[in-house]
Amino acid sequence: MSRTRTGMGVKPNMTTVIHDTTVVTGEENAPVHHGASIAIDGNTIAAIGPTDEVTARFPVAERVSGRGKAVMPGFANCHTHFTLTKNRGITENSSYPEQESHPMPVRFPRSLPLSDEDLTVLAQLGALEAIRCGTTAVMEVGANIDVYAREIVDSGLRFVLGEQASDRAHGDIGEPGPFVVNQELAEHGLQSIADMHSKWHGAEDGRVTVGVAAWAPDMCSPELLVRLRELQDSLDTVATIHLNQLWGEVENVKANRGGALPTEFLAQIGYLNDRLVAAHCRCMVPQEERILGESGSWVSFNSAIAARRGLSPHVADLQVAGCGIAMGTDNMAEDMLEVVRTGMFMERVRRSDGRLPSPEEAFQWATSNGYRAMGIPDGGSLRVGNKADLIVVDTRRAHLVPTIRVVSTFVHQGQGRDVESVMVDGRWIMRDGRVLTMDEDALVREADRVGRRAWRRLLDSDPNFTIPDGFDFNTADPD
């Protein structure tokens, strides 16, 4: 077996055949091959077909039994912030006001006392959870991603690093107030994106790319958004933005941008385009949905956080308008299966329809649509010639048998921990339940310590904060 060294990872330069298994292609109309095999050659899917045919074609390949398992495309998470693992259990019930009539809850400051090393540990924790739950591609959105980029890239996941710019001097997303520009912040953001692009775009044989991220319409001036759009064109890459996330954002944009709604504002300055991932799109009126659809933008339906906030995008209307639907976790669990199921259920409630969207459609939002939204057309479905990004699901579980209609069973009944193995770019990053790219036990211990210490210090330092119910001070070791 020959091996070629690429970047920090060792990639097998050989053929693997997973045989006697169920292959879920994730293609249109959800074809599933039973009693089948899939061959992976280098970083590409080389064959899918009946086991005897595929094994005869690749006689010297490494054989991996797929009996009792299903091979599926991995999930594409189109919107997350890995370092927000720091907030688990603390901030979920203290959201920004969703409606004007709601009072402002206790607000925690965005910046916990965390060093770069602490942030890196928390970001790696997010990557670990993503792998364990079957994610293969991630759009990580944030400012100063370079602090932890090396370590999350070494997790083996496929990444679009969405370095984020903003230039609002005072106030946070969803907060009222006049828009004052902080020019230094704007220049820093633009430079960071350019720097990230030259450092990371195309790294690891193309496994890593860099996109342009604007924070939100109420956090960016028109001048900055115009320059970000120009930067997207000059870098020839994808872009993203938090869009129509909160009603407070809508009110702020109307007040500061001559009465325009957020999507109208973006359309006026030319930020919308068919390589844009618009995250959330919840507080949106029909005329904005039409505008967004006409631009061909993708929507990242971040269903778990939408449900948590009691808000929902009008997914069916956005589809009719022309938007493609992808999915993301945002601040919530890095579990895309939870996102798929929550999204399907939410949309069924919204439509008063017990059948639609189908599990196959929701699965496609979170796989092939996500890859396309991230600018990776040859991924997210199991097809000959596509990138070998896949998961192996153990279907011999109490909650998964009888596994007759595998996608429906997995979407309705599955759990993230049913994912047994994960391959990205032809390389196993989790195999038989063991993550191969990280020391999982050490990382979990360290992340727990980092998180506890940061919250203890914050709550100790400011008497204005009410200690959340159930906060464990006794074991919250300050060191």
Residue 164 contacts residue 216 (beta carbons within 8 Å):
no
349: left (phi over 0), alpha (psi -120 to 50) or beta: alpha
Nearer to Zn ion, 283 or 390 (CB): 283
Q: How far is the CB of 287 from Zn ion (least distance, A)?
A: 24
Nearer to Zn ion, 249 or 330 (CB): 330
Q: How far is the CB of 332 from Zn ion (least distance, A)?
A: 10
Nearer to Zn ion, 140 or 330 (CB): 330
Q: How far is the CB of 242 from Zn ion (least distance, A)?
A: 5
The tally of CA atoms less than 13 A away on the side-chain side of residue 377 is 1
Nearer to Zn ion, 215 or 455 (CB): 215
Q: How far is the CB of 214 from Zn ion (least distance, A)?
A: 12
Q: How far is the CB of 227 from Zn ion (least distance, A)?
A: 22
User: CB-based contacts of 372: which residues, under 8 Å, 6+ apart?
Assistant: 298, 324, 326, 380
φ and ψ of 166, to 5 deg: -160, 165
Nearer to Zn ion, 41 or 330 (CB): 330
Q: How far is the CB of 115 from Zn ion (least distance, A)?
A: 23
CA distance linking residue 191 with residue 140, whole number of Å: 18
Closest listed residue to residue 87, CA positions, set 475, 478, 468, 473: 468
Stretch that binds Zn ion, among 4-12, 165-173, 323-331, 435-443 (CB under 5 A): 323-331
Q: Check residue 308 and report its DSSP letter.
A: H
| Contact pattern for Zn ion over residues 324 through 363, marking x by CB under 5 A | ------x---------------------------------
Q: How far is the CB of 305 from Zn ion (least distance, A)?
A: 8
Q: How far is the CB of 140 from Zn ion (least distance, A)?
A: 10
Nearer to Zn ion, 156 or 313 (CB): 313
User: Position 61: which residue type?
Assistant: A
Residue 81 contacts residue 142 (beta carbons within 8 Å):
yes
User: Rule CB under 5 A: which of 113-172 touch Zn ion?
Assistant: none
Nearer to Zn ion, 143 or 382 (CB): 143
Nearer to Zn ion, 331 or 386 (CB): 331
134: left (phi over 0), alpha (psi -120 to 50) or beta: left
Q: Check residue 387 and report its DSSP letter.
A: B
CA distance linking residue 263 with residue 318, whole number of Å: 13
Q: How far is the CB of 250 from Zn ion (least distance, A)?
A: 17
Residue 173 contacts residue 96 (beta carbons within 8 Å):
yes
Residue 289 interacts with Zn ion (CB under 5 A): yes or no: no
The residues facing 80 across adjacent strands are 140, 330
Nearer to Zn ion, 330 or 335 (CB): 330
Which CB contacts under 8 angstroms, 24+ apart, belong to 439-444? 440/128, 443/121, 443/124, 443/125, 443/128, 444/125, 444/128
Closest listed residue to residue 301, CA positions, set 323, 270, 273: 323
Q: Which residue is nearest to Zn ion (CB)?
A: 330
CA distance linking residue 251 with residue 248, whole number of Å: 5
Q: How far is the CB of 281 from Zn ion (least distance, A)?
A: 12
Nearer to Zn ion, 5 or 110 (CB): 110
Binding residues for Zn ion, per CB under 5 A?
330
